[in-house]
Amino acid sequence: MSDDDFVDALRRTDDRWRSERPSDHLDARVVASLHGRGRSIPALGMIAAAGAIAGALVFMTRDRPAVDPPAPLADLELADFEPARCAPAAESSALRLDKGCTVTLRAPAMAIHALETVELLRGAAGIEVIRGVARFDVERVKPGASRVVVLVADGRIEVVGTRFVVTQRHGVGTVFLEVGRIDFIARSGERQRLEPGGSRTWGPSVSAAVVLAQPPVDAGVPRARAVPPDEGGPIGVATRPEAPPVADRPVEIVPAREPKRAPSELTPEALLESAPPRTWSVEQTSRAVQWVSKLRGEGRYAEAVVWIARLLEAPLDARAAEVLSFERGQLLERKLGDTEGACQHWGAHRARFPGGRYEIEVTTALNRCGAVNSPRGRE
C-alpha cells in the first residue's frame, strides 16, 4: 500500500461525505441565531425564500437535483410556552415538556398539552411524539388552512377541529379522541372513523408525528399573521404549494416513518424483548450500538437518548454500557440542550462507572453542572 493509496482511499472516503447534506436542524439553528427568538416573520420568510434560491443554485452549479428549501423546523420557536419555565433553554428540534406544560403553535392553530412528561421531536416530517402522553388540541381547520397530520402506524387519521390524546410508551402508541372527528385511514386505504371516546392503537417501533400538509394560509388564529405568498411562508411550516386548498380539509393522522432495517437486523426493542437475562453477545451489543448510531446520524437525538436509557437497563457488557452511557450524556447536553437531564445523567454515570474511561470528561461535565446550578450560574 503506497502513500498514494492513502490519498486515494482518503478521496474515496471524501466522496461518501460529499453525498451528505446539511439537516433541517442546521437551518433552524442558523435562522434562530441570525434573527434571535424575537425575530419577525418577514425575516423568516426571506430565509425560507433564500433557501429556495439555494436549491436552485445547487441545481445549477452542482449538477444535482434541486433540494427542498430549508425544511421546516421552527414551528416550536413560533410557539408560546406556558408557563414560561416550559420554554426550552436552547433551540433544538427536540423538546421535552414536563407534565402541565403547554406549547401552542400559531400555524396551524394547535396546542400540545403534556399530560405526562412528553418528548417531542420536530423533524422534516413533522412533530413526533417520542415518548410520553400529550393532548393535541387542534382548532377547526378553515378553508385553505394548513392541515395537521399526526403520524402513526399503518394508516392515517383525518380530523376536522378536534382534541385527541397521543400516548407513546414502551413502543406502543394510542390515539384517543376526546372531541371532534378522526378518520383513521389504513395503508391499505381502509378508512375507520373514530367517534369521541374512540381510540386506535399502533404497534411498536413507530412513533406518532404531527405534520402540516398544506401551506399556512390564514388559519384565523389570534396573533397568527398571514404570510404574503412572496415571503414563502414561515420557515417553520412544511409547505406543499402544489396541494390545492380544500374547504374544511381535515387533520390527518398518517403513518410515521418506520425504521428501515434489514430482515436480520434487530431493533433495540426486539433485542430487549428477546435477549435472555445474561450478558449480551457481541453481535447483540453491536446491533444495539449500530441502532443508536443510526439514530444519531439521522439527527434523531431524542430517540437515541430514549433508546440508550432502555439499553442501559439491558445486560450489556460493562464497556459497551459505559460507551452508551457517555453518548447519552453527550446527546442530552450538546444536542438536546437538556442541561438538567444531562446533569442528572452525568451523576448517574459517575455512580455506575466510577473512575471510568471518560472520567475526565464526566468530571468536567459535572463541574459545568455545578456552575449552572450554583446561584451565580443561574443569573
User: Minimum CB separation from other proteins for residue 41, in Å?
Assistant: 13
For other proteins, which stretch binds (CB under 8 A), given 1-9, 129-137, 182-190, 213-221? Answer: 1-9
User: Shortest approach of other proteins to residue 297 CB, angstroms?
Assistant: 5
135 binds other proteins (CB under 8 A): no
Question: What is the closest distance, in whole angstroms, from the C-beta atom of residue 4 to other proteins in the complex?
Answer: 7
Q: Which is nearer to other proteins, 5 or 242 (CB)?
A: 5
* Binds other proteins (CB under 8 A): choice among 63, 262, 313, 376: 262
Give yes or no for residue 47 binding other proteins (CB under 8 A).
yes
| The binder of other proteins chosen from 106, 122, 335, 349 (CB under 8 A) | 335
CB nearer to other proteins: give 12 or 376: 12
Count of residues that bind other proteins according to CB under 8 A: 63
What is the 3 state secondary structure string of the chain?
CCHHHHHHHHHHHHHHHHCCCCCHHHHHHHHHHHHCCCCCHHHHHHHHHHHHHHHHHHHHHHCCCCCCCCCCCHHHHHCEEECHHHCCCCCCCEEEECCCCEEEECCCCEEEEECCCEEEEEECCEEEEEEEEEEEEECCCCCCECCEEEEECCEEEEECCEEEEEEEECCEEEEEEEECCEEEEECCCCEEEECCCCEEEECCCCCEEEEECCCCECCCCCCCCCCCHHHCCCCCCCCCCCCCCCCCCCEEEEECCCCCCCCCCCCHHHHHHHCCCCCCCHHHHHHHHHHHHHHHHCCCHHHHHHHHHHHCCCCCCHHHHHHHHHHHHHHHHHHCCCHHHHHHHHHHHHHHCCCCCCHHHHHHHHHHHHHHHCHHHHC
Instruction: Using CB under 8 A, pick the residue from 68, 154, 178, 361 that binds other proteins.
Output: 361
Can residue 14 be called a binding residue for other proteins (CB under 8 A)? yes
Minimum distance of other proteins from residue 248's CB (angstroms): 36
Based on the shown chain and the rule CB under 8 A, indicate whether residue 319 belongs to the binding site for other proteins. Answer: no
| Contact stretch for other proteins (CB under 8 A) within 173-181, 201-209, 216-224, 285-293 | 285-293
123 near other proteins, judged by CB under 8 A: no
Interface residues with other proteins (CB under 8 A)?
Answer: 1-7, 9-14, 16-18, 20-23, 25-27, 29-31, 33-35, 43, 46-47, 50-54, 57-58, 60-62, 67, 70, 262, 286, 289-290, 293-294, 296-297, 299, 323, 326-327, 330, 334-335, 357-358, 360-361
